[in-house]
Amino acid sequence: MPIETAASRDVVFRVLDAFDAPHSGRILRLRLEAGEAPQVRSLKGATLRATAPDGRVCTAKVIGFALFGGKPSDERLARTGRVDVQVEEQGDGPIGLRWELTPER
């Protein structure tokens, strides 16, 4: 399920923190770097292209949200530019600090 707006093509997130999730996948703490904040519900199930600082690329499918930073909401994402997501990685990972995530087209 893609992030669905014309502005979403310009959405760029940066990974502030990354660690293994307790049961499966990875938790990524993201900060919005560019573009307009998408709706939180559009992120669930979205596939993101992850690019490492050294150029490695993989994809990450958002399977849920980490709630330890508080319940995610559109207002909170727009105000702070931050969201914590749980992802399943595919490709040349693991995703780590300073990786850049953009919606798959």
pLDDT in tens, 39-74: 999 999 999 999 999 999 999 999 999 888 778 999
**Which residue in 84, 102, 98 sits closest to 25, CA to CA?**
84
**Which residue in 35, 8, 10, 13 sits closest to 84, CA to CA?**
13
Question: How far apart are the C-alpha atoms of 68 and 42, rounded to whole Å?
Answer: 20
Cβ atoms of 86 and 64 within 8 Å: the answer is yes
Residue 65, domain member (yes or no):
yes
3-class secondary-structure state, position 7: helix
Residue 87, domain member (yes or no):
yes
Number of domains within the chain: 1
Tens-place pLDDT, residues 21-31: 988 899 999 99
Tens-place pLDDT, residues 10-21: 899 999 999 999
Q: Looking at the predicted structure, is the pLDDT value of residue 91 above 60? A: yes
| Distance between start and end Cα atoms, the chain | 10
CATH classification of the domain holding 39: 2.40.30.10
